[in-house]
Structures are given as C-alpha cells and as structure tokens.
Amino acid sequence: MIDLRSDTVTRPSEGMRDAIAHAPVGDDVYGDDPTVNALQERVAKLFGKEAGLFTPTGSLSNQLSIRTLVKPGEELLTETQSHIVRAELGAGAVFSGITTRTWPARHGILEASAPLEIASPDAGAYLVSTTAIAVENTHNFGGGTVQPLSEIALLRKESLKLGLTMHLDGARIWNAHVATGTSFSEFGSHFDTVSVCFSKGLGAPVGSMMLSTHERISEARRWRKRYGAGMRQIGILAAAVDYALTHNIERLADDHKRAQILAKACAQVSPLFIDPNLAHTNIVAIDVSKTSKSAGELVAQLAEHGILAGAMGSKLLRLVTHMDFDDAQLEQVLKVLPDLLKRSLVA
C-alpha cells in the first residue's frame, strides 16, 4: 500500500535504528538520561530558548505550553481550524480549565488583525480575559500553509502592548523552515512557548518537545509527571530524534516537490479542487465539496487501488507526502488520483 494518510506513518531507517540501539540511557524522571538531556539542550538552542522538555506527543507539548501561559478560567485565542481546538479533544478545558475563542482564516493563514480584534485582556470581573494567542505553523487543516513571518511579527508586537503571551504550535515548523529559509531562532523569537514534533516529516518514531524558559519548563515537568507522562530510559527515543535532526531536515524539500506535483495534477482536472500556490509544503488538501463524492468515498476508492489517504470531514481529502514516499509511488498515484477526481465531477 502507498500510505499518504500522514507523515507520521514513516518507519525508522537503518541509521536511525542503529542510533537507537547504541544510545546511552538513564532514568529521565530523575533527570539522569544523558541522551535526552543533550537533545533538549540542542533543540532549545536551535530555537533560541532556555530549555526544552521531551514529551511523547505534540498534543501534550501543546497542552503543557498553554497551561503555563493561561490560568483556569482565562482565555486562549487561536484559529478556528487549529490543531489545539480541533484535534486535541478539548484537553485545554478538561485538564487546565482553559476557555478558548477562535478567529476564522482562509486556509488557516494568519492575519494579525483578526486575533487582535477579538482579544480582550483584563476584561473585568464579569467577562473572560484573554491571556494568550496560539499560532500553528505550518497549518495542518489549512493544507500545510506557512504563516507569513511579517504577520507573526506584527501580532507579537501588538499583543505585547496588550500584555498577552504567544504560543507556537510548530508541529511542522521544520517544513516552514525548509519552505521559506527562515531560521528556527527567528521563528522562536516571537513566542513565549514553542511546541515541535519529531514524528512527522522528520521520521522519528515518537516524540515532541516543549521549549520555553527554565521556569516554565520546570513547571511543565511537574505537570508532565501528573499527566502520567514521566518516562524512564527515553534516550532510545531521543537518539532517534537526534539522528532525524541531523539527517532529515533538508530532505523535506523532496516532500514539498512531490506534493506540488500532486497539487498541480489535481488542479489540472479542475481548479475547484486545489490552488497549487497554497500547497506550500507537504500537505495536499483537496476540496471535494463540488463533486458527487464525499471525501470518505474517495478514500475508499483510492484504497481499492492500493493508496491510503485521509478524509478531513466529508469535504476535504488530504494526502501527505513524507520520506517513505518516493518518485515511483508518486507515478502510481498520478495514474489513479486525477482520474478518480475527474469521474467525481460527473453527477
């Protein structure tokens, strides 16, 4: 099967498996694992932050971050289709008592004026006060779109005047870096907390990380333990991540190139499906709302041809390129997908 459901489906390479097998380890609950300690220092330095905390998932990294920024009963602002509010099962409310308010954005692309218009800091005794703003880069449900750095910088500048903090959900920030050339430290400089994920485009089997100040990371470490995510000899996981950071960042350009080819092939069938100019990175989000088929039906048809894809609701078909998807598989998909889309236009 050709698996395009997500970039999380990759398997460790032989080099990565070798790094896992030979990793020095210790008990991380006691802070004794040398491999994860070195990784946390490496990634924190990469983004210009004081410290990092390894977590098993990006959702946990996000949740630990926002709970250090927002007190129970206070408000986090984020985009309507962001991962934090759409794909983390209400964790902010369940675990931290955080309320959220959202702004809509076409393809998830940030315009600083939108959150600033609805921000309500120091709202008084009878209204919810805004404390923080979360930005997702790249934007998953937006189709892998990269946030404009100018809008991020503007939002940071104006939100500071309001006394607000900012969180970056940078699950695929690696893709944003490769697509734009913007340094990781530049991305990190605009945010108080950062979450990054290693098990997506970088190909590591497990792992994410929260980045912030020593004080916030110390608080988050205690909450990680409370949530049941204190881990022991996790150097075997950290070694895989370290290998991925060394070998697998620049090759993301190949994923972007293949995604562009897929996007253009779909647009040639009909511009209703996708604008290739918005397929910035490795996600191909195909709008099937004007067809006779639901996304789920198209997923089933693709599976019959040995291609796995994802349905994001009934109207959006998603394909995600990754390091285990090569040019030969791309050719196979191009023989099938455009024809299925063409037939779906016929009532």
**Cβ contact 208:88 at 8 Å:** no
Residue range 118-145, pLDDT digits in tens: 999 999 999 999 999 999 999 999 999 9
Helix, strand, or coil (residue 263)? helix
Which pLDDT value is given to residue 346?
81
- Full DSSP string of 58-118: HHHHHHHHHHHHS-TT-EEEEETT-HHHHSSTTHHHHHH--EEEEE--GGG---THHHHHH
Q: Is the pLDDT of residue 76 over 80?
A: yes
More reliable by pLDDT, 54 or 313 = 54
Residue range 300-328, pLDDT digits in tens: 999 999 999 999 999 999 999 999 999 99
- The domains located in the chain, with CATH, are 14-247 (3.40.640.10), 251-344 (3.90.1150.10)
**Cβ contact 147:137 at 8 Å:** yes
Question: Kindly report the CA angle at 9 between 269 and 249, in degrees rounded to 5?
Answer: 90
- Residue 316: HSE in the Cβ half-sphere, 13 Å Cα cutoff: 14
Q: Is the pLDDT of residue 338 over 80?
A: yes
Beta bridge partners of 194: 168, 211
CA atoms of 113 and 267, how far apart (whole Å)? 31
CA dihedral 286, 287, 290, 295 (to 10 degrees): 70
Q: Is the pLDDT of residue 347 over 80?
A: no
pTM of the complete model beyond 0.85: yes
CA atoms of 40 and 17, how far apart (whole Å)? 20
Residue range 92-112, pLDDT digits in tens: 999 999 999 999 999 999 999
